[in-house]
Amino acid sequence: MSAASEVARRRTFAIISHPDAGKTTLTEKLLLYGGAVQLAGSVTARKNQRATTSDWMELEKQRGISVSSTVLQFEYKDCVVNLLDTPGHKDFSEDTYRVLTAVDAAVMVIDAGKGIESQTLKLFEVCRRRGVPIFTFMNKLDRPARPPLDLLDELEKVLGIASCPMNWPLGDGVDFKGVFDRQSNQVHLFERTVGGMFRAPVNVKGIEDESVSNALPPLVYARVCEELELLDGVGAEFSLEKVRRGQITPVFYGSAMNNFGVQMMLDSFLAMAPTPAPRLVGERIVEPDSETFSGFVFKIQANMNPRHRDHVAFIRIVSGCFQRDMSATNTRTGTKMRLGNSQRLFAQERETVNEAWAGDVVGLVGNYGFQIGDTLSDDPNIKYDEMPRFAPECFAYLHNENTAKFKRFRDGLDQLLKEGVAQPFELPDAFVRIPLLGAVGPLQFDVLKYRLESEYSAEVRLEYAPWTIVRWIREKNPEDAPKPVRGQTTKPKPNLAASYDTTLALDAFGNWVALFSDKVSAGYFETKN
Ligand code: GDP
């Protein structure tokens, strides 16, 4: 197959949702369609039988969360589908954001009984900033749900995105009888199956069909007919172009647990979702089907197998063809390397990858010295700038509690910072230099502490710091910036009218930042500077 047709077959996406909306259940059902039935269970297995996973995931077991993410690949119809799993837990982490830099589309799962929840909103914002097309799955229609029109209204009001319902629910809760497919003008009647283990049987009929009106309680039928009429006036006009630009979200109602409406969504999604996109390097556009191989590291995970101290770098391929044993250069360092141990990770299963194309993700196992965001290519001029900088919302000092183990503490911390588990900051005015770390969610600190202790036998203590807001400081006129003084190790302080509660710090790249404990002081500082 040619490069162009390999690229055209690929769809790479993530599912975003608030915890408990049904992401895991939907993932499992999607895998059924990919013919990966025997593997589908492994997603649930990951949730329920965490004892079997590698040791450092003990933390996940204790807290019932998924810290690490995996990449699932399956073939369905003519497509190769790459589903990148975003860690879904109450606390937020940068890991989740980074996964979203590697996808071309997202499916947003909403619990139709609850509507948009806090994390849905956060993840949506990240996707929107990157212009990622979003497909909405309104889940749990078999439970009492909010009126379907209200849910659309909420998308518009809370997320500010226009929606286009692709299907429409016939009732909800015990009255949930199926969906009306607005594209084909057909009704899919829903029959409950035990536990929703198999593909839900569906009958296809028009809305006027007697069997449809007989299946629904009269009031529900009347309401649905009214809603459908209304809908022609309220929903946004469908436009594939707007969907692909992330301006309209196609909406599907269904029930993941009962496997109802899932195939309809998958089929429409694959038809509408974009193929792997070209990416920009400065002025140059790198096409996915070009001859040049390129990709970027969006996730690094060390010690997945604690006995081997292995590292896995996850590479999203942007262009060209990846082949096992090929050579490529880390364009940040200029180091050329042979990519020998390439793997595809399926939950805990690993399988060697011999060939992969744009849109695919390969895990490179071994110590290649990667940093998050590094580009790997056979063209040294390609450097992707895909990793956004995240503004931490919480800070903590990390104390080494055992001086005899300082080296382990330092080595472990260096490695984990390379993986981006947290962001390091430095307080130049501090009397004792204790590492100050920033994160978007406190869970990142717990992961850091846990891993330092279990993987590096360090003894550490976290001390939470009061700041919640960080602002990067840029001089308005670079000429006014204070000049470095010879012999001075740190950068000179910026000229600022700082208020008493402003703390200045340096980020990992030596840039000045100001830390604040609340919005008021941050706002005051901004008006002064
Ligand atoms: P996640 O945290 O987003 O991965 O959510 P899960 O997939 O684990 O689902 C959370 C809970 O909701 C589980 O108990 C599921 O069985 C349940 N659930 C998921 N989909 C549905 C659905 O369509 N209907 C109902 N009634 N329950 C569902």
Amino acid identity of 27? T
Helix, strand and coil percent figures for the chain, each rounded to 5:
30, 30, 40
Give me the long-range contacts of 216-220 (CB less than 8 A, separation at least 24). 216/170, 216/171, 216/175, 216/177, 217/171, 217/175, 220/170, 220/171, 220/175, 220/177
> What integer pLDDT is reported at residue 340 of this predicted model?
77
Whether the pLDDT of residue 507 is over 50: the answer is yes
Region 364-388: mean pLDDT is 87
Q: CA 233, CA 515: separation in Å to the nearest integer?
A: 49
The pLDDT of residue 184 = 85
Alpha-carbon gap, residue 66 to 51, rounded angstroms:
13
Ligand 1, pocket residues at CB < 6 Å: 17, 19-25, 88, 139-140, 142-143, 255-258
- In this prediction, residue 400 carries a pLDDT of 95
Q: Which atom of ligand 1 is nearest to the CA of 26?
A: 7
For residues 400 and 431, the model is more confident at: 400
Higher-pLDDT residue of 2, 58: 2
pLDDT score of 98: 86
Please count the other Cβ atoms lying within 10 Å of the Cβ belonging to residue 49.
11
Beta bridge partners of 323: 355
Residue 23 has pLDDT above 60, yes or no: yes
DSSP helix/strand/coil, 34: coil
For the cut 80, the answer to whether the pLDDT of residue 42 exceeds it is: no
pTM of the model: 0.82
CA of 132 to the centre of ligand 1 (A): 25
What mean pLDDT is predicted for residues 512-519?
Answer: 89
pLDDT score, position 348: 47
Average pLDDT, the chain: 83
pLDDT of residue 476: 64
Residue 502 to residue 352: CA distance in whole angstroms: 52
- CA dist., res. 7 & res. 3, Å (int): 6
Share of the chain above pLDDT 70, in %: 81
Comparison of pLDDT for 174 and 528, the residue scoring more: 174
Nearest CA to 68 out of 347, 485, 429 is that of: 347
Read off the pLDDT band of 391 (50, 70, 90): confident
Q: What is the predicted ipTM?
A: 0.99
Does residue 14 contact residue 83 with C-beta atoms inside 8 Å? Answer: yes
Using CA positions, which residue lies closest to atom 14 of ligand 1?
A: 20
For residue 171, report the distance from its CA to the centre of ligand 1, in Å: 19
Q: Is 273 in contact with 135 (CB distance < 8 Å)?
A: yes
pLDDT at 122 over 60: yes
Ligand 1 atom nearest to 18, measured from its CA = 3
Single out the residue of 359, 364, 388, 389 nearest to residue 376, CA to CA.
364
pLDDT, greater one: 51 or 86: 86
**Radius of gyration of the CA atoms of the chain, in A:** 25
Q: Which of the four pLDDT bands, split at 50, 70 and 90, describes residue 455?
A: confident
Contact assessment for residue 66 and residue 47, using Cβ atoms and an 8 Å cutoff? yes
pLDDT band with cut points at 50, 70 and 90 for residue 216: confident
Q: How far is the CA of 23 from the centre of ligand 1 (A)?
A: 7
Question: How confident is the model at residue 342, as a pLDDT?
Answer: 66
